Amino acid sequence: MLTTTTLQNEIIRLKKELDVCILAHAYQSHDIWEVADYVGDSYGLSVQAAGAKQQTVLMCGVRFMAETVKILSPDKRVILSHSQAGCPMAEQITVDEINELKKQYPDYSVVAYINTTSQLKTVCDVCVTSASAVKVIDNMDSDKILFIPDCNLGAWVAEKLPHKQFKFVNGGCPVHAAVREDDVLHAKKLHPDAKLLVHPECLSEVVKHADYAGSTTGIMDYAKSCPADEYIVGTENSIVQHLQYACPDKKFYPLSKDCVCNNMKLTTLVDIYNCLRGAGGEDISLSPDVMSKARRCIDNMLALGN
Ligand code: 13P
Ligand code: SF4
């Protein structure tokens, strides 16, 4: 029987032999973090994808992340670690619906959260991640922003940029949006001295209580550098575990035990091993037309967010 250590050693050997770069979103499990060349939030992964030296990239995360890598490096082979790993938010709006909205609001620029399909990105002006949204939108010439699809992240950005006008559609992350203010009140009662760290995909009734709100990487950086001893973590619960590894002398509590993304959890170490052996995962293939149109949207984010 395979053990975690045997698998990790085999993966490390194979990725070197086959010249594969393993990228992992921070919501992946810790055993996967340990074999990855880079771990980060959606923005960090996009930047890494644009500069990866290897000919093959294995993305451990969800489909839109692997598509982003393919769009930024069309000549590379890009493998998604588990073919069923998708983000439900990416499918919440269709191209036809965006085209309708553009007719309704012709003077608005369309800003798409990166958690969208490549097809959707072809009809948007710029995409953003939770880490880059405020800076990117602030740097845009347009003051009228149609923000799709996460209205919770959108509301958080709009509050920081009162000089811009925003319109939203009704979408969001089903995992983060399920956390309620009651969860905050309950967790604060149990841990009155803990700092509350939340992802802006959460509802505003949750975000308004936060000591810090930001991307996955932002939350981890804050917890590592803050002198406080205790933290309530309002994002995918893997971050609680990763922070506990990084800061064993501090205490981390999940804001909600249900804040778990089943899509991010699909990939296992065995899947990665199988991808490297050519026996698993999915080779990402997109039409050249979709790639070139969607790339404009991602390139605009990297230019305006830098
Ligand atoms: P970030 O990686 O931007 O923190 O977003 C979290 C997320 O939900 C990714 O799907
Ligand atoms: Fe999508 Fe939410 Fe899962 Fe991120 S945590 S992949 S936004 S469902």
Q: pLDDT, tens digit, for every residue of 11-68?
A: 999 999 999 999 999 999 999 999 999 999 998 998 898 788 999 999 999 999 999 9
Q: Which residues line ligand 2 (CB under 6 A)?
A: 62, 87-89, 115, 173-176, 236, 261, 263-264
Distance 89 CA to ligand 2 centre (A): 7
How many angstroms does the Cα of residue 174 sit away from the middle of ligand 2?
Answer: 7
Kindly provide the b/e burial profile for residues 84-110, where b requires at least 16 CB atoms within 10 angstroms of the residue's own CB: ebbbbbbbbbeeeebeebbeeeeebbb
Query: Which residues does a 6 A CB cutoff place in the pocket of ligand 1?
Result: 41-42, 87, 115, 129-131, 173, 201, 215-216
For ligand 2, atom 5, the nearest C-alpha belongs to 261
Q: Give pLDDT tens digits for 85-139.
A: 999 999 999 999 999 999 999 999 999 999 999 999 999 999 999 999 999 999 9
C-alpha 13: how far from its chain's center?
A: 28
Give the atom of ligand 1 at the shortest distance from the alpha carbon of 201.
8
Segment 145-171, tens digit of pLDDT: 999 999 999 999 999 999 999 999 999
pLDDT of residue 47: 86
Element (H, E) at 205: helix 204-207
